[in-house]
A and B are shown apart, each in its own frame.
Chain A
Amino acid sequence: METLGFLMDGFAVALTPYNLMFALFGAIVGTLIGCLPGLGPANGVAILIPLAFTLGLPPDTAMILLTSVYAGAMYGGRISSILLNIPGDEPAMMTCLDGYPMARKGRAADALAISAVASFTGGLIGTIGLIMLAPVLARFALTFGPAEYFALFLLAFATLGGITGKNPMKTVIAATLGIMISTVGIDISTGTQRYTFGVLELYEGIDFILAIVGLFAISELLFFVENRAGEGYRKINVGKLTLTFKELVSTIPTQLRGGVLGFIAGVLPGAGASLGSFISYTLEKQIVGRKGTFGEGDIRGVAAPEAGNNGASSGALVPMLTLGVPGSGTTAVLLAMLISLNITPGPLMFTQNADIVWGVIAALLIGNVLLLGLNIPLVGFFVRLLSIPPMYLLPIVTMVAFVGIYSISHSAFDLYFMVAFGVAGYFLRKLEIPLVPVILGLLLGPEMEKNLGHALILSDGDWSILWASPLAMGLWLVAGLGLVLPCLVGPLLRRRMNAAMKETPVSD
């Protein structure tokens, strides 16, 4: 099989000692990012981008580093869910339901072990799905013209809020703001200066890395300051591992189901890892039915959502790699890395930068193995880190963000700009305007404008070309649904998720 050959080449890239070292480093850092309070995966990857950039890493190494961080963050998110009942990131929410009761029964070590294994299975299934689906989708995407791409970008924005999104209008506003920021600078096709106000630093446009780091990292600091959440948590005792091999085997079907469902949810626009883990958990509860003790510390209740969210995180890479359209915050940040490495994401990447794409995919597989190996023996180490109070941690993270941005350009102007973005991010989050569409707008804005221009040149100025082909029409339709559905289905789904979370108070 052709794909297998590419995958082998990918392994050849990923298994070089240099890349392997960065994969290992990324996996450890990723787990830390996932489990430390106040450092979501998108946030963590964003802070690492400028560093990867200034280190002058070759593109394949940089991408391998960041994908390992991404995979690691999904592993790490479960640690605080299980031990503290506080999800490290949103998809880890469902793991609280059975993980925390298990920990209270003194089976924390078992819960951590089973979730590591389930994460591995989910990640593995997701990556296999990615390997099978991505080349097919990439080939199909080659038939897309500029009009289809324009519609596809709209679809990405429309579905970004997700089925569970609160107010689709706010997603639209956020995306528009992001695209507006991306229009600052000299217009590529005509050379017109747009919104530069004669400021030299604005001629090249606003660097999206700076915007991303500001929006995520600085606003996070401000949120912690406001909530005075600096104290941190008490120390937790993990206890001894009592998990039997039989128990582990008994969860295999659960893990497989969770992984597949999660992968599907990850690929679909607008679903994402949170829905992946939610569906896996609910379905498992239905299948096992009364025989299980869900909500009271059933190991299957830990395995299902973990397999689900790791499957989904690999699934979310499918649209990002093949279409250049990310479906989640973290994949959007990965896309930012690709763009700043001067790699045009999308179907052509599979032919032009095959070594990078397959290197990344192979790195995901290797990363999963590394993570499983790391997580079982090193869990005590990660748990100890969990008790670092945010009052020390967040200022240091902020400092690292400053260093990263400063080392790109050595200009203090960029730092002020980053702080300004942080303030903007704080206000937007306060007003419940989601930040991910802003970032996606920043990233996709130029591409969107370019495709609009190409489409209209092809049609000689006839706007109806944008929805002329059946494919484009279909994309518009799904985009429309993406905006309408949350209004209809969203409240229902949210109520069910809340009902499931009822007895376990979750701090955001």
Chain B
Amino acid sequence: MSGLGDRILGLGLLVLAVAYGWAAQQWPEPFGGAESVGPETFPTILSVVLVAGSLYLMVKPDPDAQWPLGKSALELVISLVVLVIYALLLEPLGFVIATTLAVGTLSWRMGALPARAFLTGLVSAVVVFVLFNYGLDLSLPAGLLEVS
């Protein structure tokens, strides 16, 4: 079936819109009595608009986009994992080490030679670290390299 992507998106948005609108009806009446506009008025309007939009998408979807398969999809997942691990390790390992690893891995996966990739990572990490910590007085975590 053509337009599957849009149809799935439409279905997802419909669920979201209904849940969003339903949640808005559950809030307790604010202190001081109900006004003509309460906290739920605006979200209710939004959920109605989104329901309409999602139904339209399901009825009249656009042609599908080209989705990455196989190796491309794997590379995407790898990149995401790198980003999440980067965020996770930024504080424990310190900025310089974490950045060298993250930038190095990313540019290696994007096609650079490993040695050059990690060198780029190291250089950029040191430059940004020095610039931020000494030039701009914003402290980035030093982590393992902390000189106490």
Task: Give 28 CB contacts A-B under 8 Å.
Answer: A55-B138, A166-B62, A173-B50, A173-B54, A176-B50, A183-B43, A195-B23, A222-B79, A226-B72, A228-B111, A392-B117, A392-B120, A394-B107, A395-B103, A396-B120, A402-B90, A403-B140, A406-B90, A407-B140, A412-B91, A419-B87, A431-B9, A431-B65, A432-B62, A433-B9, A452-B41, A453-B41, A457-B35
Are A453 and B5 touching (Cβ within 8 A)? Answer: no
Is A349 on the interface with B (CB-CB < 8 A)?
no
What's the minimum C-beta distance from A444 to chain B, rounded to whole angstroms?
Answer: 12
Q: Which residues of A contact B90 (CB under 8 A)?
A: 402, 406, 412, 415
How long is the Cα–Cα vector from A360 to B116 in the complex, in angstroms? 41
How long is the Cα–Cα vector from A55 to B46 in the complex, in angstroms? 37
Is A179 on the interface with B (CB-CB < 8 A)?
yes
What's the minimum C-beta distance from B118 to chain A, rounded to whole angstroms?
Answer: 11
Q: Which residues of B contact A406 (CB under 8 A)?
A: 90, 140
- Number of residue pairs A-B, CB distance < 8 angstroms: 167
What's the minimum C-beta distance from A480 to chain B, rounded to whole angstroms?
Answer: 15
Are B50 and A402 touching (Cβ within 8 A)? Answer: no
Are A177 and B50 touching (Cβ within 8 A)? Answer: yes
Q: Which residues of A contact B46 (CB under 8 A)?
A: 176, 179-180, 183
Are A192 and B35 touching (Cβ within 8 A)? Answer: no
Q: Which residues of B contact A177 (CB under 8 A)?
A: 13, 50
Are A395 and B38 touching (Cβ within 8 A)? Answer: no
Are A449 and B42 touching (Cβ within 8 A)? Answer: yes
Q: Which residues of B contact A192 (CB under 8 A)?
A: 27-28, 30, 38-39
Is A353 on the interface with B (CB-CB < 8 A)?
no
What's the minimum C-beta distance from B109 to chain A, rounded to whole angstroms?
Answer: 7
Is B106 on the interface with A (CB-CB < 8 A)?
yes
Known: A225-B110, A431-B5. 16 other contacts (CB 8 A): A55-B138, A180-B43, A189-B39, A191-B31, A225-B75, A225-B109, A226-B75, A228-B111, A391-B117, A392-B120, A395-B103, A395-B104, A400-B128, A416-B84, A457-B37, A461-B37
Q: Which residues of B contact A180 (CB under 8 A)?
A: 20, 43, 46, 50
Is B15 on the interface with A (CB-CB < 8 A)?
no
| B-to-A contact residues, CB < 8 Å | 5-6, 9, 13, 20, 23-24, 27-28, 30-31, 35-39, 41-43, 46, 49-50, 53-54, 56-57, 62, 65, 67-68, 72, 75-76, 79-80, 83-84, 86-88, 90-91, 95, 99, 102-104, 106-107, 109-112, 116-117, 120-121, 124-125, 128, 132, 136, 138, 140
Contact partner of B138 among A54, A167, A399, CB < 8 A? A54
Secondary structure at chain A's binding surface: helix, strand, loop or mixed?
Answer: helix
What's the minimum C-beta distance from A303 to chain B, rounded to whole angstroms?
Answer: 37
How long is the Cα–Cα vector from A310 to B94 in the complex, in angstroms? 43
Q: Which residues of B contact A246 (CB under 8 A)?
A: none
How long is the Cα–Cα vector from A430 to B75 in the complex, in angstroms? 16
How many interface residues does A have (CB within 8 Å)?
A: 63
How long is the Cα–Cα vector from A440 to B5 in the complex, in angstroms? 25
How long is the Cα–Cα vector from A390 to B110 in the complex, in angstroms? 8
The 5 A-B residue pairs whose C-beta atoms are closest, nearest first, are: A461-B36, A415-B87, A230-B110, A391-B110, A395-B106
Are A430 and B65 touching (Cβ within 8 A)? Answer: yes
- Given known pairs A195-B23, A416-B87, A460-B36, the reply for A398 and B49 (CB within 8 Å) is no
Contact residues, A189-233 vs B (CB, 8 A)? 189-195, 218, 221-222, 224-226, 228, 230-231
What's the minimum C-beta distance from B33 to chain A, rounded to whole angstroms?
Answer: 11
What's the minimum C-beta distance from B58 to chain A, rounded to whole angstroms?
Answer: 11
- A432-453: contact bitstring with B at CB < 8 Å (1 yes, 0 no)? 1100000000000000110011
Is A481 on the interface with B (CB-CB < 8 A)?
no
Q: Which residues of A contact B88 (CB under 8 A)?
A: 412
Is A172 on the interface with B (CB-CB < 8 A)?
yes
Contact partner of A173 among B35, B37, B53, B110, CB < 8 A? B53
Identity of the chain B residue whose Cβ is nearest the Cβ of A194 in the assembled complex? B39
Contact partner of A225 among B30, B49, B79, CB < 8 A? B79
Contact residues, A450-503 vs B (CB, 8 A)? 452-453, 456-457, 460-461
- Given known pairs A54-B138, A183-B42, A183-B43, the reply for A457 and B36 (CB within 8 Å) is yes
Is A247 on the interface with B (CB-CB < 8 A)?
no
What's the minimum C-beta distance from A131 to chain B, rounded to whole angstroms?
Answer: 34
